[in-house]
Structure 1
Amino acid sequence: MQASPEQQHPVLVVDDDPLVTEFVRFRLEMDGFAVEVAHNAEDALAAAIRRPPHVFLLDVGLPEINGLTLLRRLRAEKRLKDVPAIMITASAAGANVKAAMEAGAVGYVLKPFSADDLLQRVRAATKNQSRVWL
Structure 2
Amino acid sequence: MQSAPEQQHLVLVVDDDPLVTEFVKFRLEMEGFAVDVAHKAEDALASARRRPPHLFLLDVAMPEINGLTLLRRLRAERRLNDVPAIMITASAHGANVKAAMEAGAVGYVLKPFSAADLVARVRAATKNQSRVWL
TM-score, normalised relative to structure 2: 0.91
Deviations 1:99-130 (A, max 9, x none): 0000000000000000010000000000148x
Q: How many residues align?
A: 127
Shift of residue 68 of structure 1?
Answer: 0.1
Provide the aligned C-alpha RMSD in A.
Answer: 1.3
- State the match for 1:14 in structure 2: 14
Task: Report 1:1-134 matches (<5 A).
Answer: 2-3=4-5, 5=7, 7=8, 9-128=9-128
Structure 2 residues without counterparts, runs of 5 or longer? 130-134
Residues in 2 aligned to 1:101 and 1:2: alpha-carbon distance in whole angstroms = 33
Deviations 1:68-106 (A, max 9, x none): 000000000001000000000000000000000000000
Asked if the contact 1:12/1:48 (under 8 Å) is kept, the reply is yes
Q: What stretches of structure 1 move > 6 A for 4+ residues in a row?
A: none
Of structures 1 and 2, the one with the larger relative CO (CA 8 A, separation 6+) is 2
Structure 1 residues without counterparts, runs of 5 or longer? 130-134
Asked if the contact 1:4/1:32 (under 8 Å) is kept, the reply is no
Higher helix share: 1
Identity fraction in percent: 83
